[in-house]
């Protein structure tokens, strides 16, 4: 057995797997952040120039955030 291994093939495979997982999670967090920022902008716009009665705002926001959450969970929306 050689002590001059260089890079263990199993370690290389694991590093590659973790790299792909990291990228996937970065995309998921980015999508969630985008959805939250969109909801924040929606609220701010509604406060400045309402496009609906105030009583409809919670329902509209609920639908937006539900959509974002379902996308993050991988549900077909």
For the chain, the domains span 9-72
- pTM here is 0.71
- Assigned token pair, 18: 């973790």
The Cα–Cα gap between 65 and 43 comes to: 12
The Cα–Cα gap between 64 and 41 comes to: 12
pLDDT at 5 over 90: no
How does pLDDT run across 32-71, given as a tens digit for each residue? 999 999 999 999 999 999 999 999 999 999 999 999 999 8
The Cα–Cα gap between 2 and 26 comes to: 38
């Amino acid at each position: 057995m050689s002590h001059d291994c260089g890079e263990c093939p199993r370690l290389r495979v694991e590093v590659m797997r973790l790299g792909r997982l990291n990228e996937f999670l970065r995309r998921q967090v980015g999508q969630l952040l985008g959805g939250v920022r969109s909801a924040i902008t929606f609220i701010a716009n509604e406060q400045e120039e309402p496009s609906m009665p105030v009583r409809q705002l919670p329902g509209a926001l609920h639908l937006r955030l539900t959509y974002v959450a379902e996308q993050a969970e991988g549900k077909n929306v």
